[in-house]
Chain A
Amino acid sequence: EPEVTQTPSHQVTQMGQEVILRCVPISNHLYFYWYRQILGQKVEFLVSFYNNEISEKSEIFDDQFSVERPDGSNFTLKIRSTKLEDSAMYFCASSEALLGLAGGDEQFFGPGTRLTVL
């Protein structure tokens, strides 16, 4: 069964460093998302991406964050200058469609990347 994959599974970085989290969405999917979960808190939406541009972003997704689809398979989240409060589990998700009335818009999640900022 096709699945979303993410690398690395765990990333440790120093405050102020740049990190890139990588995702490979399901191959025929067109819509891509990043969410994060700070320990003990809700899973929070960061950004959605379609047709090589951001569709929607949350208030969390400020100028230090960026997303890119550098090729036909990868989808990346870059954090330019990490802060302690960026420590979280980051999930990538993808869906085939967006407005499916009878399905096709379900979001499938990857296993996550645990980011630890020291």
Chain B
Amino acid sequence: GENVEQHPSTLSVQEGDSAVIKCTYSDSASNYFPWYKQELGKGPQLIIDIRSNVGEKKDQRIAVTLNKTAKHFSLHITETQPEDSAVYFCAASRRGSTLGRLYFGRGTQLTVWP
């Protein structure tokens, strides 16, 4: 089955700096890569996703890049703010054969210091 690895496990940045979280996956058939943000006491919230037919996607301060050859994808947050502090999870899925199952990374605790 698919194995998703995520680094780093913790990340501390100063407000205004950029944060990058990286994930690798093992199944070359995976074609859908969502990122979730989990705040304390809440469930994972989808913040951005990318499909294997594109290499990059951006939504305001958040961007995700995908390198299918190397089987890795990254989350980039620019101009970080204290409210970005949360646990971020990457995931991978194979749309079209397995029926929606998501494989998650271990999560990254991001702390943004004011």
Contact = CB atoms under 8 A, between A and B. Distances in A.
Nearest to B101: A45
B100 interface: yes
Interface stretch (A11-19, A64-72, A78-86, A107-115): A107-115
Contacts of B34: 106-107
B70 interface: no
A45 B93 CA distance: 11
Nearest to A100: B95
B99 A43 contact: no
Interface residues of B, number: 26
B105 A42 contact: yes
Contacts of B100: 31, 33, 48, 55-56, 95, 98, 105, 107
B114 to A, nearest CB: 27
B95 A99 contact: yes
A75 interface: no
A31 B102 CA distance: 13
Contact of A106 (B46, B89, B104): B46
Interface stretch (B14-22, B37-45, B60-68, B77-85): B37-45
Interface string A1-16: 0001010000000000
